Amino acid sequence: MTDLATTINHQIRLAARPVGLPKDSDWSFTEEPVAMPAEGGVLVRTTHLSLDPAMRGWMNEGKSYIPPVGIGEVMRAGGIGEVVASRHPAFAVGDKVSAGLGVQEFCLIPADQIKRAGLVKIDTRIGTETQWLNVLGMPGMTGYFGLMDVGQPKAGETLVVSGAAGAVGQTVGQLAKIKGCRVVGIAGGPDKCRWVVEELGFDACIDYKSGSVRDGLKQHCPDGIDIYFDNVGGEILDTVLTRINRKARIVICGAISQYNNTTPVQGPKNYLSLLVNRARMEGIVVFDYADRYGIAVAEMAGYLKDGRMKSKEDVVDGMANFPATLLKLFNGQNFGKLVLRVG
Amino acid sequence: MTDLATTINHQIRLAARPVGLPKDSDWSFTEEPVAMPAEGGVLVRTTHLSLDPAMRGWMNEGKSYIPPVGIGEVMRAGGIGEVVASRHPAFAVGDKVSAGLGVQEFCLIPADQIKRAGLVKIDTRIGTETQWLNVLGMPGMTGYFGLMDVGQPKAGETLVVSGAAGAVGQTVGQLAKIKGCRVVGIAGGPDKCRWVVEELGFDACIDYKSGSVRDGLKQHCPDGIDIYFDNVGGEILDTVLTRINRKARIVICGAISQYNNTTPVQGPKNYLSLLVNRARMEGIVVFDYADRYGIAVAEMAGYLKDGRMKSKEDVVDGMANFPATLLKLFNGQNFGKLVLRVG
């Protein structure tokens, strides 16, 4: 084991608020000596970082569901790591943990930040490190509670999910299948669409990059749409709105098509379909369900174990690749949950 | 009494589907002899017609919550009238009734159309004919169920309602006050705003025609907005979205600012505020609550009687004035529920 006291912690910090897609100059690479924990604190060595569409929002100024990352701060990121020093009774050296580690090789979590960082031990017998960032992590929790609490699926209903091959999408679609729904995905490119249908068992998947989403929905949702789980916003949201059923639920989870706009967000011009169909559009933020994560993890770990649920992660090596890798989310190049392996 | 057999029924029919604001040439004036009811039918002489923003939607081609009015058909309208001939045991000559009468002086309702037309007797001791088209009629029912079922007000919450001096708006605001909410209206012009505050008891009313709705909301909703009852759509909806609270409910009742667009509807570009605030936007169509109208009428008749609720109708005389009077809704010239007195 290396001597921590002489180890350097490499970090990536937000240098500027991006306009449009983040550029290299929006980041700064810094380093500092690793600091050891004081009483009640824990030092974690990052092994895997979660790259998520929500990160783009955290980089903007202004009020949102959490404060923005400050200029000069280490970029916020959820991650998996290993405890390398601990003065906290619940964490021992060698424990695998999940927490808000930030884009850095080491994260020192003082006693009073343990809860805020969401530091918890993970059990790698239940799922791999990357699954703990996917189905068993934030995206999985988002999909689970967004679907179950806001979407409220009933057997026999039709669910459409965009970003179907992404982290949230794969959870939502598979879970909705287990709950007895007809499930139609929307994804970019034939590989993702094939995987979603053949491997995950969706009833169909519409390739928005080739052909018409409108025609695809017409073909694959002959009884209309009861639940739409939206990760993308923009034109696709508007198209889905034309085909919803009475009392449909639209779960607003994200709008990745709009995050790098330099013009205003495209509002859903067909929103009056909510009126005509007595339908509902509702936002979800996963943190609201923190006290119930355990229930969702237990249920989905069971599905992973018995094979009813699969997961796919797109793992890229090397923390220095963070800026370029993040962009894969916005051009749709990631295939599955995007994870950066560190160290 | 005139001899019905020789009486002429004057009617206004939809001649063409309007592009933008309805023009004179979109209407045709026709007449035909009054026909007497067959077994089980009723003949009603129209006394008052309800003019509503929803009428503009009924004039458009295409799927909505009810079929469009066909070209050449008598324009659909709710109304109050008097039974002048009856072969139905539940209706006697002289009864005051409410029904979908259409823009015509007489409406013959055959036995098999009684239910579909919504033919019911009204009790003018409970409310005047015009109140039966306002607080005790469709707008009142819309406001009642939209607020109570979708808005779900809790004492101490802040409600904002647009079209505050209109038929639905006056019901919603007064009812929300009775339920213990802080109520802020949005209306056009100082007279309406003054009336809403001084006569109806709203806490404040923002004049969207003079000054900034954004500043008004900031001033009058210091604790944010928990419920927004939207009758107008467009810029006002977008502005309200910037000031909603966590778990806010937005009731989509209408979007009068958009009904005469010749360009696409303006979608709410701030809809991602639903995500940030875990808020909900939901449509309401009054017909879904038909089996509970009686409950709402009973409750609101009580408020009218004890003075806790007032109503204001804007009554215009003469059926021939229908085309011009309808336009008052769209330029905001009506002050209170717009009613056409016929005959």
- Per-residue pLDDT tens digits for A122-175: 999 999 999 999 999 999 999 999 999 999 999 999 999 999 999 999 999 999
Shortest distance, CA A38 to any CA of chain B (angstroms): 35
Which chain A residue has its CA at the smallest distance from B287's CA? A278
Q: Residue B263: is it exposed, middle or buried by C-beta count within 10 angstroms (0-12/13-18/19+)?
A: exposed
Report pLDDT for A2. 61
Using the beta-carbon criterion (under 8 Å), do B275 and A254 form an inter-chain contact?
yes
Percentage of residues in chain A having pLDDT higher than 90 = 94
Q: Which of B252, B274, B278 sits opposite A275 (nearest CB)?
A: B252
pLDDT in tens, B206-253: 999 998 999 999 999 999 999 999 999 999 999 999 999 999 999 999
How far is it, in rounded angstroms, from Cα B118 to Cα B128? 19
User: Which residues pair with residue A160 across a beta bridge?
Assistant: A184, A228
Using the beta-carbon criterion (under 8 Å), do B265 and A283 form an inter-chain contact?
no
Q: Which of A252, A267, A284 sits opposite B267 (nearest CB)?
A: A267
Tokens of B286: 């009054």
Chain A residues touching residue B58 (CB < 8 angstroms): none
A116 pLDDT higher than 70: yes
Chain B residues touching residue A282 (CB < 8 angstroms): 274, 278-281
A23 pLDDT higher than 70: yes
Which chain B residue has its CA at the smallest distance from A241's CA? B267
Using the beta-carbon criterion (under 8 Å), do A278 and B272 form an inter-chain contact?
no
pLDDT in tens, A270-300: 999 999 999 999 999 999 999 999 999 999 9
Using the beta-carbon criterion (under 8 Å), do A283 and B268 form an inter-chain contact?
no
Tokens of A268: 């859903």
The residue-averaged pLDDT of A14-38 equals 96
Using the beta-carbon criterion (under 8 Å), do A285 and B267 form an inter-chain contact?
no
Model ipTM over 0.90:
yes
Alpha helix segments (H runs only) across chain B: 54-58, 138-145, 167-178, 190-198, 213-220, 234-241, 273-276, 293-306, 322-331
Looking at every residue in chain B, the average pLDDT score rounds to 96
Using the beta-carbon criterion (under 8 Å), do A265 and B272 form an inter-chain contact?
yes
Nearest to B189, CA basis, from B336, B332, B337: B332
CB atoms within 10 A of CB A90: 11
Using the beta-carbon criterion (under 8 Å), do A276 and B253 form an inter-chain contact?
no
Residue of B281, B286, B288 to mutate for A, most A C-beta atoms under 10 A: B281
Q: Which of B252, B255, B278 sits opposite A288 (nearest CB)?
A: B278
Buried b (16+ CB within 10 A) or exposed e, A226-253: bbbbbbbbbebbbbbbebbbeebbbbbb
pLDDT tier for residue B5 given thresholds of 50, 70 and 90: confident
A25, A31, A36, A41: CA torsion to nearest 10: 0
Query: Where are the extended beta strands (E) located within A171-324?
Result: 182-187, 204-207, 225-230, 244-252, 280-283, 313-317
B1 pLDDT higher than 60: no
Which chain A residue has its CA at the smallest distance from B288's CA? A278
User: Which residues pair with residue B302 across a beta bridge?
Assistant: none
User: Which residues pair with residue B10 across a beta bridge?
Assistant: B31
CB atoms within 10 A of CB A89: 7
Shortest distance, CA B120 to any CA of chain A (angstroms): 25
Tokens of B321: 């004035």
A94 pLDDT higher than 80: yes
pLDDT in tens, B151-187: 999 999 999 999 999 999 999 999 999 999 999 999 9
Using the beta-carbon criterion (under 8 Å), do A274 and B283 form an inter-chain contact?
yes
Q: Which of B252, B267, B279 sits opposite A283 (nearest CB)?
A: B279
B46 pLDDT higher than 90: yes
How far is it, in rounded angstroms, from Cα A129 to Cα A117? 18
Domains of chain A: 4-134+312-341 (3.90.180.10), 138-287 (3.40.50.720)
A1 pLDDT higher than 80: no
A232 pLDDT higher than 70: yes
pLDDT tier for residue A267 given thresholds of 50, 70 and 90: very high
Residue of B145, B271, B284 to mutate for A, most A C-beta atoms under 10 A: B271
Using the beta-carbon criterion (under 8 Å), do A281 and B285 form an inter-chain contact?
no
Buried b (16+ CB within 10 A) or exposed e, B169-208: bbbbbbbbbbbebbbbbbbbbeebbebbbeebebbbbbbb
The residue-averaged pLDDT of A96-111 equals 98
Chain B residues touching residue A233 (CB < 8 angstroms): 272
Nearest to A131, CA basis, from A309, A325, A312, A341: A312
Any residues with CB less than 8 A from the CB of B48 and at least 6 apart, and which? B79, B80, B81, B129, B130, B133, B315, B339, B340, B341, B342
Report pLDDT for A69. 97
B2 pLDDT higher than 90: no
Nearest to B286, CA basis, from B88, B114, B69, B139: B139
Residue recorded with tokens 């009613």: B339
Q: Are A332 and A166 in contact (CB under 8 A)?
A: no
Chain B residues touching residue A272 (CB < 8 angstroms): 233, 252, 255, 258, 265, 283
Q: Are B268 and B237 in contact (CB under 8 A)?
A: yes
Tokens of B278: 């875990």
Per-residue DSSP letter, A76: P
For chain A, the helix, strand and coil percentages under 3-state DSSP, each to the nearest 5: 30, 25, 40
Any residues with CB less than 8 A from the CB of A294 and at least 6 apart, and which? none
CA B267, chain centre distance (Å): 23
Report pLDDT for B103. 98
Chain B residues touching residue A66 (CB < 8 angstroms): none
Tokens of A234: 């923009």
Q: Are B240 and B222 in contact (CB under 8 A)?
A: no
Q: At CA A84, angle to CA A78 and CA A90, rounded to 5?
A: 80
Chain B residues touching residue A64 (CB < 8 angstroms): 276
Report pLDDT for B169. 97
Shortest distance, CA A205 to any CA of chain B (angstroms): 25
DSSP string, B119-155: -EE--TTTS-TTGGGTTTSHHHHHHHHIIIIII---T
The amino acid occupying position B320 is A
Chain A residues touching residue B254 (CB < 8 angstroms): 275
The residue-averaged pLDDT of B192-205 equals 97
How far is it, in rounded angstroms, from Cα B27 to Cα B322? 10
The residue-averaged pLDDT of A243-265 equals 94
Tokens of B311: 């109503």
User: Which residues pair with residue A33 across a beta bridge?
Assistant: A8
Looking at every residue in chain A, the average pLDDT score rounds to 96
Percentage of residues in chain B having pLDDT higher than 90 = 94
Buried b (16+ CB within 10 A) or exposed e, A109-122: bbeebbeebbbbeb
Per-residue DSSP letter, B64: S
Shortest distance, CA B251 to any CA of chain A (angstroms): 9
A5 pLDDT higher than 90: no
User: Which residues pair with residue B79 across a beta bridge?
Assistant: B49, B99
For residue A307, is it left (φ>0), alpha (ψ between -120 and 50) or beta?
Answer: left
DSSP string, A203-227: SEEEETTSS-HHHHHHHH-TT-EEE
- Which H or E run contains A195? helix A190-198
User: Residues of chain B whose C-beta is under 8 A from some C-beta in A?
Assistant: 63-65, 233, 238, 252-255, 258, 264-285, 288
Shortest distance, CA A278 to any CA of chain B (angstroms): 4
Q: Between β-strands A27-33 and A313-317, what pairing exists: parallel, antiparallel or unpaired?
A: unpaired
How far is it, in rounded angstroms, from Cα A146 to Cα A151? 6
pLDDT in tens, A71-83: 999 999 999 999 9
How far is it, in rounded angstroms, from Cα B48 to Cα B51? 10
Backbone angles phi, psi at B146, to 5 degrees: -60, -45
Residue of A241, A249, A281 to mutate for B, most B C-beta atoms under 10 A: A281
Q: Which of A65, A271, A276 sits opposite B276 (nearest CB)?
A: A65
The residue-averaged pLDDT of A110-116 equals 95
CA distances from B1 to A164, B5, B227 (A): 71, 11, 51
Q: At CA B76, angle to CA B44 and CA B150, rounded to 5?
A: 110
Q: Residue A5: is it exposed, middle or buried by C-beta count within 10 angstroms (0-12/13-18/19+)?
A: exposed
Chain B residues touching residue A285 (CB < 8 angstroms): 275-276, 278
How far is it, in rounded angstroms, from Cα A312 to Cα A310? 7
Tokens of B23: 């023009």
